[in-house]
Amino acid sequence: MNDLRSQLRRVRSEFWPKAKRLLRSLPFAEDLLAAYYCALDEETPSTVRLTLLGALIYFITPIDLIPDFIPFAGFTDDASVIAAAIAAVSLNIRDRHREAARQAMQDPDAAADGA
């Protein structure tokens, strides 16, 4: 349970600064945000939350398999990790998570302020 709490703290503090900068350019932005909202949802099972939090931490970590600053290829590994996590837990990503993701796409600043 401590692992879940520490991962939640890290994602809550580090996710939005990076996400706000990149949302408009990420083809997987809505899935990323749905994963974020599902991971933060206390009704989501802990194992699902940990799976998604691991993928989100990979996204926010500046050093990964393919550095994010490499044009076109930089987020390929991030997208793959997010897609694999979502595929593994897709039944737990609810309409409310997807709706929150769509709203956050419209107004990332408001979404980040409410995080």
What pLDDT is stored for residue 23 in this prediction?
87
Helices (H), the chain: 2-22, 29-40, 46-60, 76-89, 95-106, 108-113
Q: Give every CB contact of residue 29 below 8 A, 6+ residues apart in sequence.
A: 19, 22, 23, 105
pTM: 0.85
32-50 pLDDT, tens digit each: 999 999 999 999 999 999 9
CB 96 within 8 A of CB 46: no
pLDDT over 90 (residue 111): no
- 3-state SS assignment for residue 42: coil
75-87 pLDDT, tens digit each: 677 788 999 999 9
What pLDDT is stored for residue 96 in this prediction?
97
